[in-house]
Amino acid sequence: MTSPSQTPLRRYVDFAHSLADASGAAIRPYFRTPIGVADKGGDGAFDPVTAADRGAEKVISDLVAAHWPEHGFVGEEHGTRNPDARLRWVVDPIDGTRAFIMGWPLWGTLIGLMDGNTPVFGMMDQPFTRERFWSDEGGSFGRSPDGERQLRTRTCTDLDQAILTSTHPELFAAGQETAGFAALRPRVRMTRYSGDCYGYCMLAAGYVDLVVEAGLKPYDIVALIPIIEGAGGVITTWDGRPATEGGRILAAGDPELHAKAMAVLAAG
């Protein structure tokens, strides 16, 4: 599977590409077809899951167990294995299941690798559009049917010039979260919703300037952190802490813009 000249990270990057290929093959037959949707939410909150979610995560989990049995695994659908392992794969098989069941291609498979408390690698694969975004030793990269290129965030230091995206305004709980987002949204040039993980990758590619979300779990964000940082962006919680545990997340393509947005969210 690997050659002696490969660095440890390079081995894991190559392995993650094979994971994405396998999970994509498991997901594609379900997309834009009649598919059963179960609700794993509670208290009236709709949290959909499909056979595509569960099948893709099992494919990834089984491959990790076969190739790296000593590694940990954290998945949205099937839980955790070897939680105390130093190296842990953190996976969301379909980030954006709501978009998936609506036939919108704004979803993706998230594959991240943690070394202790540090995300060292991330990948987002969109198997329907054949787009893939990942981090590597030399930065972050994107591949589409048009080819492959290195990703770079764009310079944007002023809020009134920024494009902001968020999955949905209902992500924000009443109180500080709603107030903070309500204070930031009119300060930017444009806001668009429904991106899920795709919005973060568009930030890394230089098309979006801010992503603001709340209520995220580690499997929603771990894979995206190295992609954004490798492209020159900044991603933290709203109060500037590491984003690895999820929660309230602020990503920006420009460090100066990140600081300004964080100040508005805090004051809101």
For residue 128, the tally of other CB atoms under 10 A from its CB is 16
Amino acid letter for position 102 = M
143 is written with which tokens? 């591949």
- Could you tell me if 105 and 129 are in contact, meaning their C-beta atoms sit under 8 angstroms apart? yes
102 is written with which tokens? 């609506």
For residue 1, the tally of other CB atoms under 10 A from its CB is 8
The reply, when asked if residue 229 is annotated as ligand binding, is: no
The reply, when asked if residue 254 is annotated as ligand binding, is: no
Q: Dihedral through CA 69, CA 74, CA 79, CA 81, nearest 10?
A: 30
Q: In terms of Cα–Cα distance, which of 101, 64, 59, 63 is closest to 77?
A: 59
Element (H, E) at 67: helix 51-67
The reply, when asked if residue 136 is annotated as ligand binding, is: no
The reply, when asked if residue 220 is annotated as ligand binding, is: yes
Burial class from Cβ neighbours inside 10 Å (0-12, 13-18, 19+) for residue 138 reads exposed
Residue positions forming the annotated binding site: 76, 92, 94-95, 220
Residue positions forming the annotated binding site for Mg(2+): 76, 92, 94-95, 220
